[in-house]
C-alpha cells in the first residue's frame, strides 16, 4: 500500500496513442517529451454520495484516462495544450502564484489544482518549468471522474517534473484535497481509485485512514456503462455542494439530539462512530429525530442554537449561500442506507453464494431508487436509461457518480451482453440523432483497469 505509482519503460512508438501524442507534442513545442503520465477515470459500482460523509465506496478504474506528455525545461513557464481543440492553450510563469477561479471552472484550473497540491505539499517556491500536452478519453461531466483523472494526472506529473516522490496513498489524499480548490467539496473516492486501482479487481475504498481492499467480482456478469448523454458540470452548478451541506447540517442535528458535542462533527459517519451504533440503528435515529418536510434556514438555526451568520460561515459553502430549504431526513436516510448496501455488496462478493449475481443486482437497483427518490440526484434521462437497461437484460442498473446526468452502470450476465447492447442501442440511442451520434463512446463494457502511472521511453 505504501508503494509509489509505477514508472513503466515503454516503446512509445509501438503504442498508437502515445505515438500520436508524442508527434503532437513535438509539433507544438519543437522538443520531445521527457515522460508521460496517465490517470484513469472510474465507475462506481455502489456507494453514491457517501464518501464525503466518511463511508466506504466500491469503485473500479476504467480503461479511459487522462494522458499527458511532459517536458521539463528552463522556460520558467508552465505551458499547457490539449489534443481536444475545445480546451484552449494556457500558460503561466512558474514564479506567479497559482490562483484557481472557482467561479469560472475552465479546464486548466483542474490541472492547476494538481500543481498547487504538490507545490504546497513540498513547499516548493519555484516550480520546474514544464510543457504538457493533455489527451483525454473520459467523457466529461458524465460521472466517470474526468475532472479527478485530470487533477491526479497533473499531481503525478508535477511530482515527477519536480523530482519528488510520494506514495499512491499520499498522492490520492493530496489530489482529493486540492481538487476542492475548484469549489466542489468532494469526498476522495475518485482520486483514491485513480491511484490505488489494480487491473482485474474492483476496490473497497475506506477513509481515515485511506485504504483500498480488493473486491473479487463474481465470474458470471460483466459491467456495462451507458451514458444518458446529458452532461452535468459539478463545479458550474450547486447541486453537489447542496447535498454536502444538507449532510453536514443533518450530522449536527442528529449529534445534538443524542447529546453529543457536535462542534467537531461534520460527517454522518462520525455520529455513528460516536454513538457506537449500527447502520440499522442510525436509520431508526433518522426517523426519530428528523422530519421529512424541508427545514428552513430559520428552523436549522433554531434547532442548532446558531445565528444565520454562523450557518452561513460554518456550514454553507460559497455556492450554497442562497439555499433556503434543506431536506435532511431524505439525505441522511440515503446515506446510512447506501453505506449498509456497500458493506452487503462487499460481503456477497467475498462469500460468493450461487445466487450472488441476483443479490448484487438487487442492491444496485435499491441504490438507484434511493439516489432517485431520497437523494434526488438522478434525472428523467437517467431514470429512463436505467429502466431500459433492466428491460434489456441487466440484473441490476443504477446511476454512477454524482448524477443529475451522465452514466448508468449495469450488471449484465455475460451470455446476454450482445443482446443487451443491441436492445439498449435500439431503445435509447438510435431514436434520437444526437444520442445516436454519441453511441460509440456512450455504451461499452468495462473491466477493472489499473491505476495512475508514469511512462518513460524504453
Site residues (CB under 6 A) for ligand ADP? 66, 82, 84, 87, 107, 110, 134, 136, 138, 140-148, 150, 233-235, 401-402
Give the whole-angstrom CA distance, residue 212 versus residue 301. 38
Told to check if 65 binds ligand NG1 by CB under 6 A, we report no
179 makes contact, choosing from ligand NG1, ligand ADP, none, with CB < 5 to 8 Å by partner type, with ligand NG1
Residue 52 is a binding residue for ligand NG1 (CB under 6 A): yes
d(C-alpha 397, C-alpha 392), whole Å: 11
> Footprint of ligand NG1 on residues 402-431 (CB under 6 A)?
402
Q: DSSP character for 57?
A: B
Residue with Cβ nearer ligand ADP (269 or 371): 371
Q: Could you tell me the smallest distance in angstroms from the CB atom of residue 112 to ligand ADP? A: 11
CA angle 87, 178, 127 (to 5 degrees): 75
Residue with nearest beta carbon to ligand NG1: 186
Q: Which does 140 bind (CB under 5 to 8 A by kind): ligand ADP, ligand NG1, none?
A: ligand ADP
Backbone angles phi, psi at 226, to 5 degrees: -135, 135
Q: Where are the alpha helices (DSSP H) in 162-266?
A: 168-179, 189-196, 239-257
**Which cell is 394 given?**
441487466
Closest CA to 220 of 448, 395, 408: 395
Max CA distance (Å), the chain: 67
Angle value at C-alpha 33, between 30 and 37, nearest 5 degrees = 145
401, 405, 448, 449: residue in contact with ligand NG1 (rule CB under 6 A): 401
Segment lying near ligand NG1 (by CB under 6 A), choices 70-78, 105-113, 139-147, 334-342: 139-147
C-alpha cell at 280: 440499522
Residue closer to ligand NG1, measured from CB, 172 or 357: 172
x-or-dash string of contact with ligand NG1, 178-217, rule CB under 6 A: -x----x-xx-xx---------------------------
Q: What does the alpha-carbon distance between residue 449 and residue 414 come to, in Å, rounded to a whole number?
A: 18
51 contributes a contact to ligand NG1 by CB under 6 A: yes
CB atoms within 10 A of CB 350: 13
Cβ–Cβ < 8 Å for 249, 326: yes
Answer with the entry of ligand NG1, ligand ADP, none that 405 interacts with (C-beta below 5 to 8 A by kind).
none
Is position 94 an interface residue for ligand NG1 (rule: CB under 6 A)? no
Q: 179, 155, 154: which is closest to 167 by C-alpha?
A: 155
- Give the number of other Cβ atoms within 10 Å of residue 122's Cβ: 15
Contact status: 135 vs ligand NG1 (CB under 6 A): no
Partner interacting with residue 389 (select from ligand ADP, ligand NG1, none; CB below 5-8 Å by kind)? none
Going residue by residue from 235 to 264, which x/- string records binding to ligand NG1, judged by CB under 6 A?
------------------------------
Whether residue 190 lies in the annotated active site: yes
CB of 167 to ligand ADP, least distance (A): 24
Residue of 148, 227, 238, 392 that binds ligand NG1 (CB under 6 A): 148
Please report which helix (H) or strand (E) contains residue 155, including its range.
helix 146-161
Closest by alpha carbon to 443, among 385, 379, 396? 385
Among 48, 160, 338, 381, binds ligand NG1 (CB under 6 A): 48
Are 110 and 151 in contact by the 8 Å Cβ rule? The answer is yes
CB nearer to ligand ADP: pick between 243 and 252: 243
- Whose CA is closest to 258, among 274, 247, 279? 274
Q: DSSP 3-state assignment of 185? A: coil
> In the complex with ligand ADP, which residue's Cβ is closer, 234 or 346?
234
> What Å distances lie between residue 220 and 310, 446, 448, CA to CA?
53, 14, 15
- 108 forms part of the interface with ligand NG1 (CB under 6 A): no
Q: Establish if 49 lies at the interface with ligand NG1 (CB under 6 A).
A: yes
Using CB positions, name the residue nearest to ligand ADP.
Answer: 136
Dist. CA 106–CA 89, nearest whole Å: 11
Q: Which segment (46-54, 116-124, 159-167, 355-363) binds ligand NG1 by CB under 6 A?
A: 46-54
Q: Which of 190, 261, 387, 432 is catalytic?
A: 190
Residue 439, binding choice from ligand ADP, ligand NG1, none, Cβ under 5 to 8 Å by partner class = none
Q: How far is CA 212 from CA 190, 194, 206, 330, in A?
A: 12, 11, 6, 29
Contact residues toward ligand NG1 (CB under 6 A) are 44, 48-49, 51-52, 143, 145, 147-148, 179, 184, 186-187, 189-190, 234, 401-402
**What are the catalytic residues?**
190
Amino acid at each position: 500500500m505504501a508503494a509509489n505509482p509505477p514508472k513503466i519503460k515503454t516503446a512509445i512508438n509501438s503504442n498508437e496513442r502515445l505515438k500520436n501524442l508524442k508527434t503532437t507534442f513535438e509539433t507544438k513545442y519543437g522538443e520531445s517529451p521527457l515522460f508521460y503520465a496517465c490517470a484513469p477515470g472510474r465507475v462506481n459500482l455502489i456507494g453514491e454520495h457517501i464518501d464525503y460523509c466518511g463511508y466506504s465506496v466500491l469503485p473500479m478504474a476504467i480503461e479511459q484516462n487522462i494522458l499527458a506528455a511532459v517536458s521539463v525545461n528552463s522556460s520558467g513557464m508552465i505551458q499547457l495544450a490539449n489534443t481536444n481543440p475545445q480546451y484552449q492553450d494556457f500558460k503561466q510563469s512558474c514564479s506567479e502564484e497559482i490562483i484557481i477561479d472557482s467561479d469560472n471552472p475552465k479546464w486548466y484550473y483542474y490541472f492547476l489544482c494538481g500543481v498547487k497540491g504538490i507545490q504546497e505539499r513540498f513547499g516548493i517556491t519555484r516550480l520546474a518549468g514544464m510543457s504538457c500536452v493533455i489527451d483525454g478519453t473520459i467523457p466529461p461531466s458524465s460521472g466517470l471522474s474526468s475532472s479527478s483523472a485530470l487533477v491526479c494526472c497533473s499531481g503525478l506529473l508535477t511530482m515527477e517534473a519536480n523530482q519528488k516522490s510520494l506514495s499512491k496513498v499520499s498522492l490520492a489524499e493530496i489530489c482529493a484535497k486540492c481538487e476542492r480548490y475548484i469549489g466542489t467539496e468532494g469526498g476522495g473516492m475518485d482520486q483514491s481509485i485513480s491511484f490505488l486501482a489494480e487491473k482485474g479487481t474492483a476496490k473497497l475504498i475506506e477513509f481515515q485512514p485511506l485504504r483500498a481492499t480488493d473486491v473479487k467480482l463474481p465470474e458470471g456478469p460483466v459491467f456495462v456503462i451507458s451514458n444518458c448523454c446529458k452532461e452535468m458540470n459539478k463545479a458550474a452548478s450547486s447541486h453537489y455542494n447542496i447535498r454536502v451541506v444538507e449532510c453536514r447540517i443533518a450530522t449536527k442535528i442528529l449529534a445534538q439530539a443524542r447529546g453529543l458535542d457536535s462542534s467537531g462533527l461534520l460527517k454522518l459517519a462520525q455520529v455513528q462512530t460516536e454513538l457506537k451504533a449500527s447502520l440499522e440503528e442510525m436509520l431508526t435515529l433518522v426517523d426519530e429525530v428528523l422530519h421529512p418536510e424541508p427545514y428552513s434556514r430559520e428552523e436549522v438555526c433554531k434547532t442548532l442554537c446558531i445565528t444565520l451568520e454562523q450557518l452561513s460561515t460554518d456550514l454553507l459553502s460559497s455556492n450554497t449561500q442562497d439555499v433556503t430549504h434543506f431536506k435532511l431526513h431524505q439525505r441522511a436516510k440515503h446515506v446510512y442506507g447506501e453505506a449498509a448496501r456497500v458493506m452487503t455488496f462487499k460481503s456477497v462478493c467475498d462469500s460468493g453464494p450461487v445466487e450472488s449475481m441476483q443479490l448484487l443486482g438487487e442492491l444496485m437497483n435499491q441504490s438507484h431508487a434511493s439516489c432517485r427518490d431520497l437523494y434526488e440526484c438522478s434525472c428523467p434521462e437517467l431514470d429512463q436509461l436505467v429502466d431500459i437497461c433492466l428491460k434489456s437484460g441487466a440484473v441490476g442498473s443504477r446511476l454512477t457518480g454524482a448524477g443529475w446526468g451522465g452514466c448508468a452502470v449495469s450488471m449484465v450476465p455475460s451470455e446476454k451482453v450482445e443482446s443487451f447492447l443491441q436492445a439498449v442501442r435500439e431503445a435509447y440511442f438510435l431514436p434520437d440523432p444526437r444520442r445516436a451520434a454519441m453511441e460509440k463512446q456512450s455504451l461499452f463494457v468495462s473491466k477493472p483497469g489499473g491505476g495512475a502511472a508514469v511512462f518513460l521511453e524504453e
